[in-house]
Amino acid sequence: MEDQDLPYVLEIEKLSFPNPWHEVTFKGEIQNRRISFPFVVVHRPENKVIGYIIFWQINEQVQINNIAVHPDFRRMGVAESVLLHILDNVQKEGVIFVTLEVRPSNFAARSLYQKLGFEVLGVRENYYINPQEHALIMGKPLG
């Protein structure tokens, strides 16, 4: 992900979440290359950004912070492919555990994460706003 991707990323973010990240948040992730890994998914041959993922890698652990796919490209396996690719690559780099937070009401995301072997580890109370909701902490051991 680069600054020139942000108009597309911001559009997908607004279409995907009730409380979208702001541009400054994405810029911070792009600039924080020490631990932050922001990637876009580009549809060929149009060179159109159709999705993105941002995760932090700190030593042997990864935290997936944000993942979204444009509504026109959902239910086509894009998010699953991206997650499988990321999980495979970070495992090769020695990562042993991956976590993420998800709204309990986000059944599509929860279903995907469960399909990929993530399990609910706990709850962060009142984590989300607009609307207010707890977060499920999900995790997956690698290797």
Query: pTM for this one?
Result: 0.93
Determine the length of the chain.
143
The predicted structure's pLDDT at residue 4: 95
Catalytic residues: 101, 113
The predicted structure's pLDDT at residue 97: 98
The predicted structure's pLDDT at residue 130: 86
The predicted structure's pLDDT at residue 85: 97
Instruction: pLDDT band for 143, please (50, 70, 90 cuts).
Output: confident
Percent with pLDDT over 90 in the chain: 92
Neighbouring-strand partners of residue 63: 56, 99
The predicted structure's pLDDT at residue 14: 97
As to burial, measured by CB atoms within 10 angstroms (0-12 exposed, 13-18 middle, 19+ buried), residue 22 is exposed
The predicted structure's pLDDT at residue 125: 95
44-61 as b/e: b if 16+ CB within 10 A: eeeeebbbbbbbbbeeee
CA distances from 106 to 103, 110, 135 (A): 5, 6, 10
Q: Write the pLDDT tens digit of every residue in 7-65.
A: 999 999 999 999 999 999 999 999 998 999 999 999 988 889 999 999 999 999 999 99
Question: Please, what is the average pLDDT of the chain?
Answer: 96
8 A C-beta contact, residue 56 and residue 36: yes
47 SS3 class: coil
The predicted structure's pLDDT at residue 75: 92
The predicted structure's pLDDT at residue 78: 96
Q: Which domains does the chain have, with CATH numbers?
A: 3-141 (3.40.630.30)
Write phi, then psi, for 16 (nearest 5 degrees). -105, -25
The predicted structure's pLDDT at residue 45: 85
Which DSSP helix (H) or strand (E) runs through 5? none
